[in-house]
Amino acid sequence: MKKNIITISREFGSGGHSIAQTVAEKLGVPYYDKALVEQVAKESGFDPEYIENQGEYTSSFPFFRLSGDSVPGAMNGMNADDYLWCIQRQTILNLAEKGPCIIVGRCADFILKERTDALHVFICADKAYRKERIVERYGETAQKPEQRLHQKDKQRRAYYRYYTDREWGAPQNYGLCLNSSVIGEESCVAIIAGLTK
């Protein structure tokens, strides 16, 4: 079965985001990251910033924001995180139904695990590489790069475990796991794109 739908999970700072974007350009298929957040915002009434933060990270605070009055008091007794999970899950299922695409993060590998036309990829990288990359990309912050990596990865791992009951980054959950700092971003792109043929 041809693999037309690609999900890309990634460690923070591993370059997974730009690898996904380049693969999408190379294959001429849509790429969902920000676009997915916007769609979930529209459907859920949540603020895009909230979705960005809570849509794949565990909460630091039991706090949430809504954008205006579009949530019709109809979260069916669920808390905000679980409600967001449901909307996000349905959005991902719908996007995959529409045809070939690349979806970044948000447990899409788990959500689409029954689709035999989906290829699930995990991108990781050595810590030194990731530390350098996040400072270069997102600048310095009060928090040390090491701590920033640790926190983001920890939250993504916890979110993934909570909603999927699986281990984030365990190779058995993916078609392939690539270490971008070892084989290079270009090789990652070539390998992923090559497997869709």
- Residues forming the site for a copy of itself (CB under 8 A): 119-120, 122, 124, 126, 169-172, 174-179, 182-183, 187, 190-191, 194-195
| CB-CB contact of 32 with 95 (8 Å) | yes
Q: Nearer to a copy of itself by C-beta: 66 or 182?
A: 182
Name the burial class of residue 103, with classes exposed (0-12), middle (13-18) and buried (19+) by CB atoms within 10 angstroms of its CB: buried
Residue 89 Cβ, how far from a copy of itself at the closest point, in Å?
A: 22
Q: φ, ψ for residue 96 (rounded to 5)? A: -65, -35
Q: Nearer to a copy of itself by C-beta: 62 or 194?
A: 194
Residue 194 Cβ, how far from a copy of itself at the closest point, in Å?
A: 8
Q: Nearer to a copy of itself by C-beta: 135 or 177?
A: 177
Rounded-to-integer distance, Cα 184 and Cα 168, Å: 22
| CB-CB contact of 19 with 180 (8 Å) | yes
Residue 123 Cβ, how far from a copy of itself at the closest point, in Å?
A: 9
Q: Tell me the HSE value of 102 on the side-chain side, using a 13 A CA sphere.
A: 27
Q: Nearer to a copy of itself by C-beta: 47 or 126?
A: 126
